[in-house]
Chains A and B, each alone.
Chain A
Amino acid sequence: MNPKKYLADIGSYFIMLRGVFSRPTKASVLRDLILKEVDELVINSLGIVGFISFFVGGVVAIQTALNISNPLIPAYLVGFATRQSIILEFSPTFMAIIMAGKVGSAITSSIGSMRVTEQIDALEVMGINSLNYLVFPKIIALMFFPLVIGISMFIGIVGGWVAGVYGGFSTSDAFIQGLQSDFTPFHVTYAFIKTFVFSFILATVPSWQGYFMKGGALEVGKANTNSFVWTSVLIILMNYLITQMLLS
């Protein structure tokens, strides 16, 4: 471990952020880029998000039901536990980590490939602020990520209901009663606040890894791995800090 290198890395991340928010690209070009990124990073993620959310919701419901053997524990707990797990942690945090693999890798490899093939140099030679051109649209596009997380929450709970009811672990009435009991709306707000922070990390950390990489195709692969590690670590750390600040 080299502390100097870590400090230099953190410094380069903030230098990149300064570049991203300076000398904006022409508005009409930026609008097209943002729409393209929303399609690639957000809309194209809906399928995998829906699939994972449905089945993880189901697994949470089944495991909760199987671990309740005491007859004093009410049956609606299955629905309650599913809702709380999905809204508080699974959808915002773990879906963000899964997206660090999907979206983060796509961002790092696309920007890294542009670095290797001198496309970023070409932008700079043309007098274009390459950081604003490449990274800013990704940040704006991923601000729509909470929408994906909202869908993930809904599908996860539906998955829990399907697995609980059709698997014979709970009745529909008990499950729905569990979903409605002790509902704290602030938990949803807390989840979306987290998601906004994670979205920013998801857009900027992989971009930073791709933009400052040096070397060839092999290094693009290494940058991808580093991108996933840094993004995941930062998401977990921020998750802890936000939870401590907002819920304790």
Chain B
Amino acid sequence: MIRVEGLHKSFGSEEILKGISTTFEQGKTNLIIGSSGSGKTVFLKCLLGLFTPEKGKIFFQDKAIQDMNDDEKRDLREDIGMVFQGSALFDSMTVEENVMFPLRMFSNKKKDELLDRVNTVLARVNLENVNKKFPSEISGGMQKRVAIARAIVNNPKYLFCDEPNSGLDPRTSILIDNLIQEITREFNITTVINSHDMNSVMEIGEKICFLQFGNLVWQGSNNEIFKTDNKDVTNFVYSSNLFKKIREVQLKENAPR
């Protein structure tokens, strides 16, 4: 579980996050949504420790990251897996080397054992026969799956994904979303996904935090988001024509006869 209390982050005079408080639950897919510039990526990077917030605390289980010493922070990092928006695979390494990388850095196991683990994880994300290929030789969807495999290879307690289905076709997006949800449940991970894709919200949004101009203006589940009266949320959710039509149908069905 991750708990955030009163998180503030500024760049120069511009305040990006304005006191965010929320909880991300274990074994659930937690989504941070909001339009571009709402502070989603900054929030995620604060959770990851890539940005240092000016105020507020982030608790991993019951310990605030701000109160951890260097060793505790290092241990925490070994429990974190991250899927970046552009996959961030090391392009000088093969798929196998990419997935093996965190294992090589943090374990003293023999190469055969490392290879076994790599093959198990690659099979889990439905990737076969790509071990010796370089990231530039595989498709965007495959790269995302390799990134997921690399993120879970060390059995992390926390999985962070920054727009995991950006640049993917709708079918592959759903596959990636479902894969993340399956892994979250299977390994009982606390997963936090940064997204602006409403399909993801519908598919896997067990807990949703809606950000606008650096404020957390709404939180709830994927069932609740379609019923809320919060204007900012409805404007965001129904900004696409497809969801507008769905809304119209829903309203018609619910209208008194």
Instruction: Please indicate the chain A residues that have their CB under 8 angstroms from the CB of B80 in the complex.
Output: 125-127
Q: Given that A127-B74, A127-B77, A127-B78 are known contacts, is A121 also in contact with B50, CB under 8 Å in the complex?
A: yes
Contact B88 A122 (CB under 8 A): yes
Contact A117 B88 (CB under 8 A): yes
Contact A128 B105 (CB under 8 A): yes
Contact A117 B86 (CB under 8 A): yes
Tell me the complex Cα distance, A114–B101, Å. Answer: 16
In the complex formed, the residue of A with least CB distance to B48 is: A125
- Interface flags for B35-71 (1: CB within 8 Å of A; 0: not) read 0000000000100111000000000000000000000
Among B77-108, those with CB < 8 Å from A are 77-78, 80, 82, 84-86, 88-91, 101-102, 104-106
Tell me the complex Cα distance, A29–B90, Å. Answer: 15
Tell yes or no: A189 within 8 A of B by CB: no
For A25, A119, A126, the residue with the greatest tally of chain B CB atoms inside 10 Å of its CB is A126
Instruction: Please indicate the chain A residues that have their CB under 8 angstroms from the CB of B86 in the complex.
Output: 117-118
Tell yes or no: A26 within 8 A of B by CB: yes
A-B contact count (CB 8 A): 50
Instruction: Please indicate the chain A residues that have their CB under 8 angstroms from the CB of B85 in the complex.
Output: 118
B residues contacting the other copy or chain, number (CB 8 A):
23
A152 to chain B, nearest CB (A): 28
A15 to chain B, nearest CB (A): 15
Instruction: Please indicate the chain B residues that have their CB under 8 angstroms from the CB of A121 in the complex.
Output: 45, 50, 84, 88
The contact of A29 among B88, B91, B104, B160, by CB within 8 Å, is B104
Tell me the complex Cα distance, A119–B85, Å. Answer: 11
The contact of A122 among B74, B84, B106, by CB within 8 Å, is B84
Tell yes or no: A124 within 8 A of B by CB: yes
Among A112-144, those with CB < 8 Å from B are 113-114, 117-119, 121-122, 124-128
A-B pairs with lowest CB-CB distance, top 10: A127-B77, A118-B88, A122-B88, A125-B82, A118-B84, A119-B88, A127-B74, A125-B48, A126-B102, A117-B86
Interface residues of A (CB under 8 A from B): 25-26, 28-29, 113-114, 117-119, 121-122, 124-128
